[in-house]
Amino acid sequence: MWKSILLAGALATSPFAAHATTTAQMAYLLPMTIGGRVTADNVHQWPAVYFESRFTGPSVKLLFDNENSNFNVIVDGKPLMILQKPGSKVVELGKLGDGEHTIRLEKRSETQYLTGRFVGFDTIDQPSPLLPPPDRARQIEFIGDSLTVGYGNTSAFTQCTPEEIFETTDSQQGFGVLTARHFDADYQINAFSGLGMVRNYDGREHPKYHMPMLYERALFDDPTPAHQPDWHPQVIVVGIGSNDFSTPVRPDEPWGNEANLRADYVKTYTAFVKTLRARNPNAFILLTTLEGEPEGYISGTDAVFNAMTSGGDTKIDRITLPVLDYTGCNSHPNTRSDARAADIYIKYLEAHPQLWQGK
């Protein structure tokens, strides 16, 4: 899916490492290919969204309205720079050489309670722009929690402040993105740190959120359903539940004990997978857990898988990832672990090429 926008007027700008300018000229926003969940005007909140375009000439501008996210900028397939919380700026990239170029903007960070907007790519003198890169034939989706986000995965330390967690989280180095890139697939990383299927971390985190509710949305606090008519993943990987069983259930919680929590988890998770199946009748669904995780998470996921297969679903499987190296922020997996997990997914999909449905 791509779109082209004509923007009249100017965005406020300030000096920036690449080159920032103010402009009162008419800006022709280039057509873009967009990956991940965004609104119609490119407001985003989920991790790992990305924007791609093509242009001719030695320069291009990136127009932001985002004080809350960090981004990778990639030109002609090569990393160029990291933009940290660009705010309301027009960032100009110059001296790129004549001829045709591709440009890609990737969100690195996680923004649980804040949103941002990427206005678009601009080359003022190209009212007849090139078409953007086409949508990829393959699509893969990962649904999960902090492990899927890539929470603090580039950190050299296990103890991190909230700001350090933000700065060292790079969803583009998470196992989901690494897997997708290997197969040249478009991807969605629909994940939220601390979230569970029915109970969030310690039973206290993010009290107004849970995965079945957020999954329907493009923005977490906006109940408007995500609009993505062109999203038909061949593979959906679901790994969520470690937060549900992260700590013992307290007597004052709705479940009262772990047996009731497990029953609610299995019921809700099964309904969630059935919804995925109804919307994606041809997709192959992988239910995953990690070795060493709480028993309720592992056996509960087993129960969901058994419920789906006993109900006749043949496009589903259950895999277990090995124990990973938890040396990232707050004892989360680091990028080496992300690469190791990605390798397991890659080998699984290479052993089952039919899952891409001939694409």
Q: Of the candidates 69, 91, 122, which is a domain's last residue? A: 122
In terms of phi and psi (left: phi > 0; alpha: psi -120 to 50; beta: otherwise), the region of 169 is beta
Q: How many CB atoms lie under 10 A from the CB of residue 205? A: 16
- % pLDDT > 90, the chain: 86
User: What confidence score (pLDDT) does residue 15 get?
Assistant: 31
pLDDT > 60? residue 77: yes
Q: How many C-beta neighbours within 10 Å does residue 27 have?
A: 23
In a 3-state reduction of DSSP, which class is residue 91? Answer: strand
Per-residue model confidence as pLDDT tens digits over 304-343: 999 999 999 999 999 999 988 889 999 999 999 999 999 9
Specify whether 215 is located in the same domain as 264: yes
pLDDT digits (tens, 9 = 90+) for 38-55: 999 999 999 999 999 999
Whether residue 276 sits in one domain with residue 242: yes
Domain assignment present for 157: yes
Final residue before a domain boundary, out of 72, 89, 122:
122
pTM for the structure as a whole: 0.92
Q: Is residue 144 very low, low, confident or very high in pLDDT (cuts 50, 70, 90)?
A: very high
Q: How far is CA 38 from CA 167, 213, 246, 280, 303, in A?
A: 22, 17, 31, 20, 33
Q: Are residues 111 and 218 in the same domain?
A: no
**What pLDDT score does 13 carry?**
32
User: Angle at CA 154, nearest 5°, toward 16 and 197?
Assistant: 110
Kind of pairing, strands 70-75 and 138-144?
unpaired
How wide is the angle at C-alpha 349 spanned by C-alphas 176 and 316, nearest 5°? Answer: 90
Same domain, 322 and 201: yes
Say which of 146, 155, 171, 337 is annotated catalytic: 146
Calpha distance 308→298 (Å, rounded):
16
Question: CB burial class (10 A; 0-12, 13-18, 19+) of residue 127?
Answer: exposed
Least confident of 41-50, 93-102, 183-192, 297-306: 93-102
- Indicate the number of domains in the chain: 2
Mark whether 146 is an active-site residue: yes
What pLDDT score does 324 carry? Answer: 85
